[in-house]
Structure 1
Amino acid sequence: MNKTPLFSLLVFLSLNSAFAQENPIIKLKEVVVSDIRLKRYAEGHKVTELRDSTIRRQNNSLTSLLAFNSNIYFKENGYGMVSSPAFRGTNASHTAVIWNGININSQLNGQVDFNTIDPLSYNSIGIRSGGGSVQYGSGAIGGSVHLNNDLRFDPHFDHRVVLGYGSFETKNINYTQSYGDSRWSSNFGVNYKKSDNDYKYLKNDEKNVNGEFGQLNFNFNAGYVLSEKQVLRLYHQSFIGDRNLSGTLVSVGRSKYKDNHYRTQLEWGRFGEKTISKVKVAYLQEEFRYYENKDSDNHSFGKVSTFLARYSLDMKLSKAFRLNSFLEFDNYKGEGDSFGNPNRNDFSATALLKHQVSPKLAYNISLRQDFSSDYSSPLVFSLDGKYTVNKHYDIQLNASKNFRTPTFNDLYWQPGGNLDLLAEQSYQVDLGHRLQFGGVTFNLNGYYITTKDMIKWLPGSNGIWSPINIDDVRIYGAEGELGLGYDIGKHQKVAFKANYAYTVSEDQTTKEQLIYVPFHKANASFSYSVSNFNVFYQHLYNGPVSIIGGELDGYDVANVGINYSGTLQKKIKYTLGLSFNNVYDTYYENIALRPMPNRNIQSQLILNF
């Protein structure tokens, strides 16, 4: 881990001398966010952004936040357990998670456990629908989720404390601090969550046994304006998790899982009149310990360290054209009881060309080629654009070829790993319509995805499971999104938002829908504010899903809550909140034989000063 700052310093010094020409004073809006590609090169993509107010309302978990506010379907092995997304009918490893501009999907299983992500650690969370492998690498097939820490270069010194307590002895404590002036910006946050998680099963007298969990999140982000042309930024996040693994309706849980994640990235940027140069270095570490018997010291261990170095150059070629190119090197080192000590080097080269044809029409053309020491990777591309018909109506189109690389588990797991695996390939096209009339917005997207060489683990003749390139899957569907927001009088406001997704994800061999992919998913939320009071209602519908040997029933779940905001001594603003989750006391499972919580209550106090 010590080599990351040393490498960044060497790169910084060499590039500082190479780009010593004079440039105008930078615009601070350029240095606020790290993932600038999410907005600058995404004209043809549906991008939804969840801001701070929405995150605070649904801060129990990232899973709950996205389940009630997006079209992503989630599979949870019980509340607080492993949570896997299914974005547009794809599997969990086909959703890329981007942390301040870099892909953080696990090098072991290819996915991110969304119950290890604390929503309160971020200023905004973006959801980018459709293929994005050109910009964001392996796994961005169904879409990508973007975790963003913004840095404010204006005078401020803010504090926020969030205290939560609820059913099943669930406790949540969060503290966030943000400071800034014209040259320095930083924010710091720590979150601790713990729960006995012993909810009763509604269909019998049993409880969720062995479901206790605790987790600690720490994050620190800082930026410093070195000169009129140079900015240095640092992002760090640590996660420490310790949870027992819940049992099922037919087996009592007795296992335990400890996992730690450490992420650090340093970015130097030089901002000129027509060019923006950036050097980014990052060090990521993921490790786990799995105890089959929580009362025993015997456990299995796994660890992967990732070192990333990226150079990017964004150039304004003319009034109509802009070019963004970047080179990236990644080194992965693994260590584990089941996969040995693998070491892999990857290199990628990417170019994105933006053409602003007219004020109404813009499009992007992108290419990417990856080279790996372990597998053959395809050349991928994307084309996306937007045409503004009038002030009320936009048309978006994107088409791309995407990929997912084999993970360390796929390649090296013993017994069963397969060193001859090919990278998965996927082609997709997406047509979107955007309508806006005053406070009403409506979005409609239709898409088609086909995959090739999908990696699937299957049992062999010797009974050992092994991954092979076998599945061809065809996915198509439609997504609708409706939003309304109105001010009624001086102190009243109403807001409504609804999402609906129809998804067909069909295995071309069996001609059947993939397991755990609902044909229908919908959610809606309504809020009403008057003076200092706010009430809200949220509803989630997940349709039936296929499982091995049968079907899992669909379900409706709803939450309702009330918040009161006020001020103490003119300096401290507070919000008291109370929410009733699963208010109809619905019995439901989104993984077979793993019931989710019954009706429960959560209280919250937020202090801002």
Structure 2
Amino acid sequence: MIRIVFFFLLLCYYSVANAQKSTDSIQKLDEVVLSDVKLKHYNEGYKLTVLSDSILRKNGNSLTDVLRFNSNIYFKENGYGMVSSASFRGTNASQTAVIWNGININSQLNGQVDFNTISTANYNSISIRSGGGSVQYGSGAIGGSVHLSNDSDFTKHINHRLQLGYGSYETENASYNLSFGNNKWSGSAGVSYVNTENDYRIIGTDEKNENGAFNNLDLNLNLGYILSQKDVLKVYHQNFRSDRAFSSTLLAPSNSKYETEDYRSMLEWAHVSENFTSSLKAVHLLEQFKYFENKDLNNYSKGQAKTWLIKHSYKRNVSKNMALSVITDYSYITAEGNSYIDPKRNAFSATAILNHQFSTKFKYNLNVRKDVISDFKSPLVFAGDLSYKVAEAYVLKFNASKNFRVPTFNDLYWNPGGNLDLEPEESFQFDLGHQLEILKSLQLKLNTFYIETSDLIQWRPNTETNYWNPVNIANAKHYGLEVELGYTKQINAHHFNLVTAYSYTETEDVEKNQPLYYVPLHKGNTALSYNFKSFTAYYQHLFTGEVDVIGGSLDGYDVGNIGCSYELNTAGKLNYILDLKINNIYNTYYENVALRPMPNRNFNIKLTLKF
């Protein structure tokens, strides 16, 4: 490990030395405005969906609310606002990576991200990358990845946004965002808060959702400073705190609660010259929780994990149409809690990416990555993708990759039950995509995919010890298709916009010869909006087909939302936007986790001030 660290430091020194010697012409630093440069430059063969600011505003503050109605991802939510996990192309929650400004933030404890612990109010953009991405983003990027970005804007500006809201179940939410910049500085700050009793009525009964109250607080601060014509320094910090009771099920009462706190901090120095780009990141991540079986008592179990990460990216333009990137990172991870005996992990990875624009019509990328991890062996992974412009309106895309997911601290060290003999999950996948654009008003994306995963880690009861143990036992197959359609039409001052998505997903547990649990065969969503001057109206619809669960199945369901907004004083410096939204307008009873019903018809009203 000492030799690995020495090699890494030597590589950093070499890059810095080259940066100091460079006499290239003045650059615009355009590549470092986006922190996740890989998302911008190495996705020719992947389907990438970027959610606009208007989409984020029409949905709730949680990432679950946004993605449920605007992506092909299926969510399992243990009651509204409770733990929410993603199923991307039929994979499980730990096989979907969440990337914060280029850094994988999946939990070191359980490998997952609870999508209800991520507020969308403090991000410039949210992107969805379909397909395997372990080469670029590490463990867990098997089904796909979700990217949260805070972009730097060095134009002269200062903008404020204040949002106040109230809704059903005594729901209160507020957020404030500040963005400023000039030719030297760029900065943004945000705070988002939601508090709710969450005691919605269970449709068809006289009962209410019991023990479902929660409050969330999200803080975000980002700064950028241009050191020179070629160098920029950026700081990112994000803190999320949540205090959630755990809702009762239809069969069992609950008086428990769960407190979580996440800190993410990153310092980035980027250098851009004519022939190469260098980026050095220093990152600290902290995740911690307290679980109270009885929220009225001060007895709880706890756990936490800390990650220190150094990451260096170096991109060299080999020729006018070819670039080679080398990415190295070193991380040191520790954990502690009631069920751990101070586990530690050292991890080093090296990645090489070749980007080649063969012609104006044909582009491709070749990727390879190797991880060296202290507590188990990891596989060599690779990926390749390409895009070919068959015609002016038609682009053909293809990608294939080998991906992996490492055993987490829970899998290896949970006491009692951890298994130190686990192997990483491995996956092979390919994706064929078609992208059609007609007169810039109609966009169609059609993707077919196949994923085969081996050595899936599952927790199973052990009759000898009477404990549950994780074992490498299951193999799985996933295949299907995804369709996305976007259409815009303008008639004088009237604007119409339609976005619809559909996914068909087949899965198989090879060992049991049966479909995987909690994967709908059919899922679709549609959003239709109409805008006339200062007035906007929209409708959202979500269809989810039947899903298999242990001991049976959950019925499919249709849920519709309707909303409208009106912007006042559009010509002045101070703008008011009034939003009204009614969720579940058909008052549909539905569950996306067995015995945990979701809310009945409800409303939310928001006032947004921009100045």
1:368 matched to which residue of 2?
A: 369
Structure 1 residue 487 displacement after superposition = 1.3
CA contact (8 A) 2:154 2:183 kept: yes
CA contact (8 A) 2:47 2:129 kept: yes
Amino acid at match of 2:94: S
Give the whole-Å Cα distance in 2 for the aligned partners of 1:243 and 1:275.
47
Give the whole-Å Cα distance in 2 for the aligned partners of 1:210 and 1:305.
31
1:5 matched to which residue of 2?
A: none
Structure 1 residue 52 displacement after superposition = 1.1
Note if 1:475 corresponds to 2:478. Answer: yes
Give the whole-Å Cα distance in 2 for the aligned partners of 1:306 and 1:445.
36
Q: Secondary structure at the match of 1:20?
A: helix
1:538 matched to which residue of 2?
A: 540
Match of 1:502 among 500, 504, 507: 504
Q: Deviations along 1:240-293, whole A, 9 cap, x unmatched? A: 110100010011110010000000001001111100011111000000000000
Give the whole-Å Cα distance in 2 for the aligned partners of 1:576 and 1:105.
36
Q: Secondary structure at the match of 1:253?
A: coil
1:252 matched to which residue of 2?
A: 253
392 and 568 in structure 1: CA distance in 2 versus 1, 3 angstrom threshold:
closer
Amino acid at match of 1:443: K
Structure 1 residue 31 displacement after superposition = 2.4
Q: Secondary structure at the match of 2:20?
A: coil
Note if 1:577 corresponds to 2:579. Answer: yes
Give the whole-Å Cα distance in 2 for the aligned partners of 1:320 and 1:60.
42
Match of 1:521 among 500, 520, 523: 523
Structure 1 residue 161 displacement after superposition = 0.5
159 and 423 in structure 1: CA distance in 2 versus 1, 3 angstrom threshold:
same
Give the whole-Å Cα distance in 2 for the aligned partners of 1:19 and 1:528.
50
2:63 matched to which residue of 1?
A: 62
1:593 matched to which residue of 2?
A: 595
Q: Deviations along 1:553-588, whole A, 9 cap, x unmatched? A: 111100000100111782101110101000000000
Where does 1:220-369 land on structure 2 (aligned, <5 Å)? 220-369=221-370
Q: Secondary structure at the match of 1:168?
A: coil
| Sequence identity (%) | 52
Where does 1:180-219 land on structure 2 (aligned, <5 Å)? 180-219=181-220
Structure 1 residue 12 displacement after superposition = 9.0
User: TM-score scaled to structure 1, two decimals?
Assistant: 0.97
Give the whole-Å Cα distance in 1 for the aligned partners of 2:469 and 2:28.
53
Give the whole-Å Cα distance in 2 for the aligned partners of 1:501 and 1:222.
39
List gaps (5 residues or longer) in structure 2: 1-8
* Runs of 4 or more consecutive aligned structure 1 residues displaced over 6 Å after TM superposition: 9-15
Note if 1:550 corresponds to 2:541. Answer: no
Give the whole-Å Cα distance in 2 for the aligned partners of 1:11 and 1:133.
23
Structure 1 residue 476 displacement after superposition = 0.3
Q: Deviations along 1:390-410, whole A, 9 cap, x unmatched? A: 110000000000000000000
User: TM-score scaled to structure 2, two decimals?
Assistant: 0.97
Q: Secondary structure at the match of 1:309?
A: strand
Q: Secondary structure at the match of 1:220?
A: strand
Q: Deviations along 1:423-474, whole A, 9 cap, x unmatched? A: 1000000000001102001110000000011111111113311001111101
Where does 1:72-83 land on structure 2 (aligned, <5 Å)? 72-83=73-84
Amino acid at match of 1:271: V
Give the whole-Å Cα distance in 1 for the aligned partners of 2:580 and 2:68.
20
Match of 1:466 among 469, 482, 485: 469
1:423 matched to which residue of 2?
A: 424
Amino acid at match of 2:241: I
569 and 448 in structure 1: CA distance in 2 versus 1, 3 angstrom threshold:
closer
Amino acid at match of 2:197: D
Structure 1 residue 116 displacement after superposition = 0.6
1:4 matched to which residue of 2?
A: none
User: Could you say what the CA RMSD is over the residues aligned between the two structures, in angstroms?
Assistant: 1.5
Structure 1 residue 194 displacement after superposition = 0.4
Structure 1 residue 16 displacement after superposition = 4.7
2:20 matched to which residue of 1?
A: 20
Give the whole-Å Cα distance in 2 for the aligned partners of 1:385 and 1:14.
31
Amino acid at match of 1:479: E
Q: Secondary structure at the match of 1:513?
A: coil
Give the whole-Å Cα distance in 2 for the aligned partners of 1:355 and 1:99.
27
Structure 1 residue 39 displacement after superposition = 2.0
CA contact (8 A) 1:387 1:396 kept: yes
CA contact (8 A) 2:106 2:113 kept: yes
Structure 1 residue 320 displacement after superposition = 2.2
CA contact (8 A) 1:541 1:557 kept: yes
Give the whole-Å Cα distance in 2 for the aligned partners of 1:23 and 1:176.
37
Structure 1 residue 15 displacement after superposition = 6.2
Amino acid at match of 1:505: T
1:564 matched to which residue of 2?
A: 566
Give the whole-Å Cα distance in 2 for the aligned partners of 1:16 and 1:423.
35
Give the whole-Å Cα distance in 1 for the aligned partners of 2:306 and 2:91.
27
How many correspondences in the alignment?
601
Give the whole-Å Cα distance in 2 for the aligned partners of 1:99 and 1:429.
25
Give the whole-Å Cα distance in 2 for the aligned partners of 1:472 and 1:109.
20
